[in-house]
């Protein structure tokens, strides 16, 4: 196949190029050309700004377009219309399009509306705008559209640190603060599993909407912390503290303590996304240990002065652990 990837140098785009090349497909990427290509898999590289001039992109000849970089509906519509001769258009959306207050999320679950006063640049608008991007693709491509809605994507080359924090934290050793209960389920997916599924979906003629995340009610926080310690090979102790303690001490969910969302947030569906439809079309999952091992191996290659975008700082963690000690374990919960 002759495949165009809109994006292709950062994280999912990078993994997609690698997966397509491994399957023998011809790959062209369209990016702004601002990210380094160190070690990136080979592809024909076209540079331009999709929010500006698309004339550098040939309109015809594409067996598939995979859009990993669309966030604004008007921009996505312009790209879809320009490339409307393609055999299919894959739009990478997000589970954030859904109303996450429902107990379990399916492909036909309610879509969260865009608040009238929402700032398009905020996280509040991210999901609803992605949903509008989906609509634009469907209106142009009809039954030739594939909409993939990933959950949290993790693995090597992740620029967000929302998962990388845990194996890196384990590698530092010492006492690790983690959110109890350790049996709390978490849900995420290796970037390479997302890429493999998208390539397989295109190859096999899949069409429609697919939730693309890890299996629900399978992986626990305890699994993540335990496997992180194993991957790091460093001795450490884990102190498990409950939601009440973390909220009381102002710990920011998700970003300051990655993967953690307190029950009080009222978002049960966020970690309970049904992926049966995608599994039936070929979605598969590599072992957690492999994801953690490879993520840590990549993270260790980053420059020492790399600023981490998520996770507790060492100072902040020590302060919280001191509070636990002073309260004589009143907030600590056995795993």
* pLDDT the model gives residue 215: 97
Topology adopted by domain 2-150: Rossmann fold (3.40.50)
* pLDDT the model gives residue 329: 53
Residue 275 CA to residue 116 CA, distance in Å, equals: 31
Burial class (CB in 10 A: 0-12, 13-18, 19+), 228: buried
Mean of the per-residue pLDDT values for the chain? 94
pLDDT < 70: residue spans in the chain: 36-37, 328-335
- 168-184 pLDDT, tens per residue? 999 999 999 999 999 99
* pLDDT the model gives residue 332: 46
The domain defined by 165-186+219-265+288-326 carries CATH number 3.90.25:
yes
Q: What are the sequence ranges of the domains in the chain?
A: 2-150, 165-186+219-265+288-326
The verdict on whether omega for the bond into residue 149 sits within 30 degrees of 0, i.e. cis, is no
- Give the sheet arrangement for strand 2-6, strand by strand: 44-47, 26-31, 2-6, 64-67, 89-92, 145-150, 208-212
């Amino acid at each position: 196949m002759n495949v165009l990837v809109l994006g292709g140098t950062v994280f999912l785009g990078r993994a997609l190029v690698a997966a397509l090349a491994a399957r023998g497909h011809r790959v062209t990427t369209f990016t702004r050309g601002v990210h380094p290509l160190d070690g990136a898999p080979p592809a024909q590289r076209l540079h331009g700004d999709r929010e500006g001039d698309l004339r550098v992109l040939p309109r015809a000849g594409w067996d598939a377009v995979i859009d990993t970089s669309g966030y604004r509906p008007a921009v996505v519509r312009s790209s879809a219309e320009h490339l409307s001769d393609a055999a299919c258009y894959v739009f990478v959306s997000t589970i954030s399009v859904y109303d996450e207050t429902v107990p379990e999320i399916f492909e036909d679950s309610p879509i969260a509306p865009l608040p009238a006063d929402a700032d398009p640049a905020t996280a509040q608008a991210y999901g609803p705008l992605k949903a509008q991007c989906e609509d634009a693709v469907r209106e142009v491509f009809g039954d030739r559209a594939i909409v993939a809605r990933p959950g949290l994507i993790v693995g090597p080359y992740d620029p967000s640190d929302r998962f990388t924090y845990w194996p890196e934290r384990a590698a530092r050793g010492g006492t690790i603060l983690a959110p109890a209960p350790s049996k709390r389920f978490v849900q995420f997916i290796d970037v390479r599993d997302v890429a493999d599924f998208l390539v397989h979906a295109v190859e096999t003629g899949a069409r429609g909407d697919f939730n693309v995340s890890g299996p629900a009610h399978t992986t626990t926080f305890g699994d993540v912390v335990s496997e992180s310690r194993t991957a790091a090979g460093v001795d450490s102790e884990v102190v498990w503290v409950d939601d009440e303690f973390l909220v009381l001490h102002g710990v920011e969910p998700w970003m300051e303590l990655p993967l953690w969302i307190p029950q009080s947030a009222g978002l049960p569906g966020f970690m309970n996304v049904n992926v049966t439809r995608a599994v039936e079309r070929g979605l598969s999952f590599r072992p957690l240990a492999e994801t953690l091992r490879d993520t840590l191996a990549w993270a260790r290659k980053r420059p020492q002065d790399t600023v981490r975008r998520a996770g507790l700082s060492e100072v902040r963690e020590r302060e919280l652990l001191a509070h636990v000690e002073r309260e004589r374990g009143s907030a600590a919960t056995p795993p």
